[in-house]
Structure 1
């Protein structure tokens, strides 16, 4: 294999679009949380009250404000508008509704707010690195998985075909390079921070007193007694300084050698969490960028644990393949099933297999309520089947507490029965000859 082929494989070998979608969700979430964090808008509005001499717009902000004049300064109304726009577009980008447009609008609004903040003399690299990744995601198929767009496209395809077909893993050459770029951007950010410590602080960074100073400064300023206490334990401050410097200098190791990923990412999460707890410095944008390591981390987990997806862990859903509501529901569950924990059996087209899985139920009974066969062979039906399936799909975990709340079984079973009893009248098309299969 030539060097050019190796380079092409490294950057453009097809990768899972689902991993890219996870990066989209993580990046937008951390940037949106930073923008909407309590006090963030108030801080931006206070900046608009400062004298004009304090306002030194950076080039990016001048470009964004170009329609209003080169170097124009925004007012409070424009800041509030951008903040509200960032909130709405950010939520749409997370759920993947009109993904490319929502990413573009959120990136513009978020960059506007950050560039406005930077124009008063404060530059912070965590937001900048995550914002670069955000703009990069606009040019990628990140909305092809874990998104409203993907769900809508799959449902439309099932409706057109008038049957459900499980989807294959979505792969794309355009999914690899954004993940690689985010990984190497993290390397540059950490290396920049380490070189700054070495060139500016020199040996003073490792003597422990520099760390003690920052712990005392942030501890007293933010009223953190634990930080003040730790600042007086010299060996702890030396250890903190050494761990931070070594981690930043050698982070490139986990990019080149994936076996080191678990140790480095665990250290990174602990390091940034500790910085927040003891110094109130938010670096969680960098933690969000760790989502770019989903594929190598997954491979390392399988190597260490010896864990592979087994048919013994599969949950099997038996559904009415001639009912549009059932087809749509199976399509939606398949889209949400990132771990491929579910298998689907069409009662009408695979009747022998369905009867073998659930021998005690007649086809008429299975048409009335969806049946789920657990890996242990236990059969669940209707509301109880959907509730157990929801526990296996992370995207539906928010619904699980509601389905286990007091009175939920009484309500859930009756709502399910009502929908099942009325679906033929509401959802089936007589001209296509589906009424018999839908229960009439």
Structure 2
């Protein structure tokens, strides 16, 4: 059986000094920056993703996914270094981190290969020492790696896309919009809880079936939702949650604490790319939930209805195994797998696009959300209506700005109407 160590070997770890960050409630947290370097005995097409685990005294383990970037590239080998990741050595809820370990996966030829070992990144005394720490990574005290990734069947995904291109009614799509009325049938809270119950009922009816709830939402700090997920897990439903790393780390929330103690898979994604066009610090910002293999919801909402129940939200629900598979392709890539590629028709009546997806046009070039936005603005002849939280330049492949495209559309006679978040428009900042 192949292991990732056949292609990549971790060599060195660095842990920076302490610094403070605050969350949305202005609560301070003392963090440390870290990085891990690898030697890769393959060309630059071999990618590496790191699964970082922070073990704490109260039998709690916090799991994170970290991307890597290549450097010192040669045709048959190169080096890789993790993008920025951050560790909270002391948690007010769970105490001191006793050890930080990691495993990794190598992406090669459309599949992911897991490492055999889980390695020590830093030990307790290094986490407590306020000075910068260096560590040579070796097999000493390494343990077996149990983390596994998964890829979907690219051919099946292509069939799903081809089918709904010709049978758009098969999407069973319901657009939803709510002005914060939690008991309105189009409020996401109602749909979420009804479908958690539906999955639980499926498990009761067929105990041998693998029943799943897959959550990929920036923040899920909601009492009722967490309670319901924990209940579903007790009913033998496989529950997996992916959130932005800040939301599960820079928090004193009892909701996240209960989720961590429950044993449900909770993964924080470090979304820390470096690029001159990035205007604000990026988040893992997806917002979708998949129920078993036939129902899903995606939209503008975080699952934080305790605090933000009155927000105006929009979204869509689907009763479609094909759309569930396409979203699962994104979900599995967020967990560390290889996102599968498939062809799309940009002029199709419906396309499900992901920022880092590998959906391509007939000419072989990738077609991503910013391409679609600019293309549709250029195609518009009568009207363009935007309802957004905020908007930046969003540059295209040819450095064409979405702002310029909207101005040009207005100048050629298209009726352009834009709604922004009022607080942001008045004060120029979020929150």
- Tell me if TM exceeds 0.5: no
Normalised to the residue count of structure 1, the TM-score between the two structures is: 0.23
The structure with the largest alpha-carbon Rg is 1
Per the normalisation by structure 2, the TM-score is 0.23
* Higher relative contact order structure (alpha carbons within 8 Å, sequence separation ≥ 6): 1
More helix by share: 1
